[in-house]
Amino acid sequence: MTLAFIALGSNLGDARGQVLGAFDALDRLPYTRLLERSSLYLTPPWGVLEQPAFINAVARIDTTLSPHDLLDGLLGIERTAGRVRDGERWGPRTLDLDVLYMDGVELSDERLTLPHPRIAERAFVLLPFNELAPGLVLAGQGRVADLLAAVETAGCERLA
């Protein structure tokens, strides 16, 4: 089994329900087990600012899937949730799932880069990621807790 972390986000429809449902869907992926989930966070939009706030979280999983097979599984979960990938980046979405990190994997190709290259810029990823793995060192980026200390978290709220 390989330890991996997945970012979850939604800002359309029942965003909280979409994220909670995605945790369950991760646990149902073949050869994959959900180990832990972070709190949910209400976060301001990033990139395209004229859109609703997001619900974000991070999941810790164990999987024997390859990085690309895991990505394909995540894309399937997104499609089931009604996500249509139309080429628009950082816009509103019913569900967004990203592979953040897989233990021992450094990869960069046309489909996937691991660790995710923009973790260090994103409080909406770092806040929940820090709950699960503050001491994890991401190749080329640094320790999760240090990355969180370096970003602006104003407007981000941990939900009960």
Q: What is the CATH number of the domain that holds 15?
A: 3.30.70.560
Catalytic residue among 89, 93, 118, 158: 93
Catalytic residue among 37, 60, 98, 122: 98
Q: Per-residue confidence at 115, pLDDT binned at 50, 70, 90?
A: very high
Catalytic residue among 62, 85, 89, 96: 96
Angle at 140 between CA 139 and CA 142, to 5 degrees: 75
pLDDT tens profile 14-63: 999 999 999 999 999 999 999 999 999 999 997 777 899 999 999 999 99
Domain extent, residue 148, equals: 2-158
Angle at 153 between CA 131 and CA 91, to 5 degrees: 95
98 belongs to the catalytic site: yes
Is the pLDDT reported for residue 91 higher than 90? no
Catalytic residue among 37, 60, 83, 122: 83
Residues 70 and 51 sit within 8 Å (Cβ to Cβ) = no
Q: Per-residue confidence at 93, pLDDT binned at 50, 70, 90?
A: confident
User: How many structural domains are present in the chain?
Assistant: 1
- To the nearest whole number, what is the mean pLDDT of the chain? 94
The sign of the CA dihedral 135, 113, 149, 89 is negative
Q: Per-residue confidence at 126, pLDDT binned at 50, 70, 90?
A: very high
66-114-139-123 Cα dihedral, nearest 10 degrees: -130
89 belongs to the catalytic site: no
62 belongs to the catalytic site: no
Q: Which residue from 15, 156, 158 is spatially nearest to 92, judged by alpha carbons? A: 15
66-72-78-80 Cα dihedral, nearest 10 degrees: -120
Confidence (pLDDT) at 48: 74
